[in-house]
Structure 1
Amino acid sequence: MSKNLDTINHHESVVRSYIRNFPTVFTKAKQHKMWDEDGKEYLDFFSGAGALNYGHNDDHMKEKLIEYISSDGITHSLDMASTAKAEFLEKFDDVILKPRDLDYKVMFPGPTGTNTVESALKLARKVTGRTDIISFTGGFHGMTIGSLSVTGNSMKRQGAGIPLQNTVTMAYDNYVDHDTIVYLERFLEDSGSGVAIPAAMIVETVQGEGGINAARFEWLKQIEEICRRWGILLIIDDVQAGIGRTGSFFSFEAAGIKPDIICLSKSLSGYGLPLAVTLIKPELDIWKPGEHNGTFRGNNHAFVTATAALDYWKDESFEKEIHEKSELIYNFLEKIVTDYPEIKGEVRGRGFMIGIASEVEGLAEKITARCFKLGLIMETAGPNDEVFKLFPPLNIPKDELQKGLDIIEESVKDLVKDPVTN
């Protein structure tokens, strides 16, 4: 074991997790590659759990950031005005919102995904005067108390140490054999169901931690219709599925819906710098000044890189490229399922948020471990880690993408051939 790895294992809390799956010390990263202290090169199909959709150390963003730092630009400003913030807001409106005919106020709730979810839940309750939130099976929304209350994973929920209240869990699309929309509507209509009309429903269009479950666009549209009919606010948690990960900037665009509140973080800064926003329909923006705040909601370095990252979205070429490579990934995974029936696999997900769920206990973990040995970083998902998921950078060249896919197939082939040794 290296000295640095030994130091980390000795001093860092046992709560650490990713280091257990990737037991090496990384020293350098560029685009879709990482290197450890021994000089070993890895293809990155992890992308910071979706925080690095444009890969590591993008040259354009880096140039803008270095220029800003060198000119002594404001680093920390809470929610005071800064040129970096103004430039981001203007460009976000011009490049993202207006072309999609979307009108939202932008709130900076704090730097992480759980911050934006907490603010969304709080605002929904404030606007409606109701307390309950409907969430869905398999959902993951964060690790602080409010966001954890709408998260499905029992292990993570138990970490709260207290009862998690004022939430009701309903069945996600395809969670059960029957129509989950009918079931949901029946609960709302029946005064004896024990389910009060909630302040909001919060949903991921594609569930990451829940197992790469993709909701049908028709189902999402029906959820929106129910929310409109009952005066319930619709919150889309696009922290992981957004910023192009599922094919379009917002993951819900193909469904033709317009959520009341949208939660964004992870790849919003484009560079791995902490940044989150809560997008709010203007009529719902009823906060009192300072009613929700946070010391690090003015991360100007993240504003700079986020503004630069929006250049990817100035026209349709980047999105077209995402769709082309997404088709390549999907076809590859379907072929894996067909060619290796021993893995009892099912392709799940959408776009660059995709993977294979295996009925064979422990197989997904073995595949990701084998991939790591062969120089590919990839993680598992699902309540039982039954899915190995692919999260390559969106801008990875096709030939490098294919190299990673080849490593996955080699790993699957090795495990099918000799499951005990591997």
Structure 2
Amino acid sequence: MKILEEVTNPLYVFEQLESEVRSYCRSFPTVFSRSSGYKVWDRKGKEYIDFFAGAGSLNYGHNNPKIKQKLIEYLMKDGITHSLDMATEAKEELLVGFRDVILKPRKLNYKVMFPGPTGTNSVESALKLARKVTGREIVMSFTNAFHGMTVGSLSVTGNKFKRRGAGMSLTNTVSMPFDGYLGNQVNTAEYIERFLEDNGSGVSLPAAIILETVQGEGGINAASFEWLKEIESICRRWEILLIVDDVQVGCGRTGPFFSFEPAGIQPDIICLSKSIGGYGIPLALTLIKPEHDVWEPGEHNGTFRGHNLAFVAGREALQYWETDQFSKQIQQKGEKVNRFLRQLVERYPEMRGEVRGRGLIQGIALGVDGLAEKICAAAFDKGLIMETSGPSSEVIKLLPPLIIDNEGLEKGLQIIAASFEQCRRDLPVN
């Protein structure tokens, strides 16, 4: 029986040897073996279109050939791989490239901190720095926010299930309603300001307000540019630091390199990770306005903050941003996705769908329990990798690599259409 199960169950080894905490392999039950661009193949040779992109870590696609070549060249000349925060040529080239390609053209001035390899490392460093700068403890975050899985990041995360995983009280934070959370008729920025100006509100003046301009894991809730401007204005009035978590929706995911650019705001601290590493290699940056860079040497550190392979890959990925052509292509693809999703919502009113997001992070929130998960499962069977998001997994989430061509995008969208039609037939008749 054991031998038979090993043969018939492709995930036998993982089920026997890996922790029960594993997640994505339950949604995508196969063993993947290779990938290229926007495609992935399992070990039986079945091809999948990737509308997941490593949860936003593969904006430039799988095994991007130009980035791969740079990595191979660097390895073959015995380039430095690990360096803590020592100075290396690879880090120098990334810093200069980031300044010249990203910051200068946008008239932005930030110091670059390497906090560790992941997004939650960046968030933790931002929270610590905001408290150090202001001398205050409370950080304000938002409903349905997601900022990471370490304790500090969890304290500003909204999801009840993930918060419960901390196994302890999560303190020194206060949660406020995100834009649209109380309906379109309520301006939650005004609501927040009322709490701050009222000495009887019970809300202490925070060190920082941390937000995502588009809440990826929280259900693809996109804040309006007007709301973002109001939040920035509140921060300036009350001398609160504004932290923008651009870990998933930065690096071009919404069109511009930074998701907040169209709002015309300038955060005090910016958190970047995922695709900043260029090739799916772990890397995180914390961007700090120079006047807030008050760290003492070594006051925040990490063994793997000097990941030189990520520096090399990240620098090469910046080539996409030397002109505005790539950004325009992302926006055009986003418009195509948006039209398609709106057509689906109109075609299947019984699913009670709502289109959300912008750029190439979009989706449909579905008003039927469990339906989003069924649609994603049907899409996987048909050769498309796509996940759900939202507090109840009620949103289908499209997150393709930004380099996907029109043929791949259209093919993936048609699989979604076929999956909607299949799942419509399974809906209960009222």
Question: Smaller-chain TM-score range?
Answer: over 0.9
Alignment match, 1:24: 30
Give yes or no for the alignment of 1:165 onto 2:208.
no
Alignment match, 1:70: 76
Alignment match, 1:8: 14
What's the offset of the Cα at 1:340?
1.2
Alignment match, 2:359: 351
Alignment match, 1:329: 337
Alignment match, 1:133: 139
The number of residues matched between the two structures is 420
Structure 2 counterpart of 1:192, from 195, 200, 210: 200
SS in 2 for 1:134: strand
Q: Deviations over 1:182-239 (max 9, x none)?
A: 2101100011111111000000000011100000000000000000000000000000
Give yes or no for the alignment of 1:93 onto 2:114.
no
Task: Normalising by structure 1, report the TM-score.
Answer: 0.99
Task: Provide the rounded CA distance (Å) in 2 between the counterparts of 1:275 and 1:330.
Answer: 31
Give yes or no for the alignment of 1:313 onto 2:321.
yes
What are structure 1's unaligned runs of at least 5 residues? none
Task: Provide the rounded CA distance (Å) in 2 between the counterparts of 1:320 and 1:365.
Answer: 32
SS in 1 for 2:393: coil
Alignment match, 1:147: 153
Alignment match, 1:279: 287
SS in 2 for 1:301: helix
Structure 1 counterpart of 2:301, from 293, 302, 320: 293
Task: Provide the rounded CA distance (Å) in 1 between the counterparts of 2:347 and 2:141.
Answer: 37
Give yes or no for the alignment of 1:303 onto 2:317.
no
Q: Which amino acid aligns with 1:154?
A: K
Contact 2:372–2:388 (Cα < 8 Å) also in 1: yes
What's the offset of the Cα at 1:3?
6.3
Give yes or no for the alignment of 1:375 onto 2:383.
yes
What are structure 2's unaligned runs of at least 5 residues? 1-6
Alignment match, 1:245: 253
Alignment of 1:46-57 (within 5 A): 46-57=52-63
Task: Provide the rounded CA distance (Å) in 1 between the counterparts of 2:268 and 2:187.
Answer: 25
Alignment match, 1:257: 265
Structure 1 counterpart of 2:347, from 339, 358, 368: 339
Q: Which amino acid aligns with 2:155?
A: S
**Cα gap change, 1:78 to 1:4, in 2 (>3 Å):** farther
SS in 2 for 1:396: coil
Alignment match, 1:402: 410
SS in 2 for 1:359: coil
SS in 2 for 1:169: strand
What's the offset of the Cα at 1:2?
5.2
Give yes or no for the alignment of 1:124 onto 2:130.
yes
Contact 2:34–2:40 (Cα < 8 Å) also in 1: yes
**Cα gap change, 1:374 to 1:3, in 2 (>3 Å):** closer
Alignment match, 1:222: 230
Task: Normalising by structure 2, report the TM-score.
Answer: 0.97
Task: Provide the rounded CA distance (Å) in 2 between the counterparts of 1:75 and 1:231.
Answer: 41
Give yes or no for the alignment of 1:60 onto 2:66.
yes
SS in 2 for 1:7: helix
- After superposition, the CA RMSD in angstroms is 0.9
Q: Which amino acid aligns with 2:152?
A: G
Task: Provide the rounded CA distance (Å) in 1 between the counterparts of 2:120 and 2:271.
Answer: 9
Q: Which runs of 4+ in 1 moved over 3 A?
A: 1-4
Q: Deviations over 1:317-349 (max 9, x none)?
A: 101111111110000000000011121100001
Contact 2:10–2:30 (Cα < 8 Å) also in 1: no
Give yes or no for the alignment of 1:231 onto 2:236.
no
SS in 1 for 2:404: coil
SS in 1 for 2:48: strand
Structure 2 counterpart of 1:417, from 409, 419, 425: 425
What's the offset of the Cα at 1:418?
3.3
Alignment match, 2:3: none
Task: Provide the rounded CA distance (Å) in 2 between the counterparts of 1:417 and 1:127.
Answer: 57
Give yes or no for the alignment of 1:111 onto 2:117.
yes
Task: Provide the rounded CA distance (Å) in 2 between the counterparts of 1:384 and 1:336.
Answer: 21
Task: Provide the rounded CA distance (Å) in 2 between the counterparts of 1:190 and 1:315.
Answer: 47
What's the offset of the Cα at 1:399?
1.1
SS in 2 for 1:349: strand
Give yes or no for the alignment of 1:203 onto 2:211.
yes
What's the offset of the Cα at 1:55?
0.9
Contact 2:380–2:386 (Cα < 8 Å) also in 1: yes
What's the offset of the Cα at 1:419?
3.7
Q: Deviations over 1:118-168 (max 9, x none)?
A: 000000000000000000001000000000000000110011111000000
